[in-house]
Structure 1
């Protein structure tokens, strides 16, 4: 049999099988996009909440620092919610990418290049026992590096500028005092807790560079041109 005939027959799936897989792909793609919209919505909540709290704090100097502390807590809470939603999105995206790589790609290219391995078995096992593809910590890191790092930079910047301009801090000692005002803890305890929290955020940012396991995540194209799902 010629190579040309082999290529033409490699994607000749049974009619019912092909129709089922096409509907399955459309269903998984729809679920993936729904979860994508959900965690995008969480980002919008964080931006709107940050804008409202910062605006209110700048107009109420007597309680402003407490509001900035509250903003840090609320933004982190939304980050954890978004990370949970991202894990669902990533699980469905992994299925979509597997179908695109091993089922749709051979049809598009008239080639059996990707029709190998045990991808059907892996897909079947995931349908029976669905599982996350990345850890919660990695999901936190991805969402923080993508969006929330900028939200926290705006938040801490607005807090510092507020202490300098609105509360008229004209020296380092005065700046620290005004930065830590309107909260019950001693200054050194408060600054230590805040510093540890931002060190933790720095760890989240670096963790995304150390561990990359999300299937189908857009990354730099490998030089070899071969990548596996």
Structure 2
């Protein structure tokens, strides 16, 4: 049994060596691998979009109901805040998985495709094939959950949560102009002042997560300050 496994391992190593020595075969293998990783990246990109769509849908439904009648409680908008925050956590987890496949695609693009188009450029990752092989053998997430949360907040969720905050403030004040904000903001036995403090702490935390200055580890992501102008070389 042991000799059979050793023989199989030896055959696999020889096969890998033959593929590595044959440029045409290696090109075909890398091309298939690139298309496979690109397809998986696209699939996870779609899953991110689905989460965002559900967030917007739930948010719109709750806001419509909250403003449909003065008798509807204002705290239903805070329920929307919790729902959108839950979708934010789900999307952050999906984003970490999405980034795994995007990082592989970027390795191909930066070190294979870019080099094929312009061989004069130096490779950014000299050992990119070894890095990719290691990642295939022991796949791991590339970014922290904190960075994933921060990314999704900057992209879309901070705007959604900010709209909900404005809607809540307007809903509290719009239908009871003669009463104080603290009185109207009361939820059951919880006084309006305490509700306001809790909401303020939550949004302060969200703001810190969104604007926290840190070096991002995500590979190949567009930056807002990155811009390249196409030049006429004709």
| CA deviations over 1:70-129 (Å, ceiling 9, x no partner) | 111100000000101111111111110111111111212244632862111111111111
TM-score, normalised via structure 2 length: 0.81
Are residues 17 and 183 of structure 1, via their aligned partners in 2, closer, same or farther at CA, if it must alter by over 3 Å?
farther
- 1:33 & 1:109 partners in 2: Cα distance? 26
Task: Verify: 1:67 aligned to 2:71, yes or no.
Answer: no
| CA deviations over 1:21-63 (Å, ceiling 9, x no partner) | 0010001011001111101111111111111001111124334
| Residue in structure 1 matching 2:136, options 118, 127, 144 | 127
| Residue in structure 1 matching 2:193, options 182, 188, 191 | 188
| Residue in structure 2 matching 1:175, options 181, 193, 199 | 181
- 2:197 & 2:125 partners in 1: Cα distance? 55
Task: Verify: 1:56 aligned to 2:62, yes or no.
Answer: no
Alignment check: 8 A CA contact 1:62 1:182 kept:
no
Are residues 54 and 81 of structure 1, via their aligned partners in 2, closer, same or farther at CA, if it must alter by over 3 Å?
same
Alignment check: 8 A CA contact 1:66 1:183 kept:
no
Provide the aligned C-alpha RMSD in A: 2.1
Instruction: Give the match's secondary structure for 1:113.
Output: coil
Gaps of 5+ in 2: 1-20, 229-234
Alignment check: 8 A CA contact 2:41 2:101 kept:
yes
Task: Verify: 1:96 aligned to 2:96, yes or no.
Answer: no
Are residues 16 and 69 of structure 1, via their aligned partners in 2, closer, same or farther at CA, if it must alter by over 3 Å?
same
Shift of 1:150: 1.1
- 2:116 & 2:66 partners in 1: Cα distance? 58
More RCO (CA 8 Å, sep 6+): 1
Gaps of 5+ in 1: 1-11, 224-229
- 1:143 & 1:135 partners in 2: Cα distance? 13
Task: Verify: 1:107 aligned to 2:107, yes or no.
Answer: no
Matched residues, number: 207
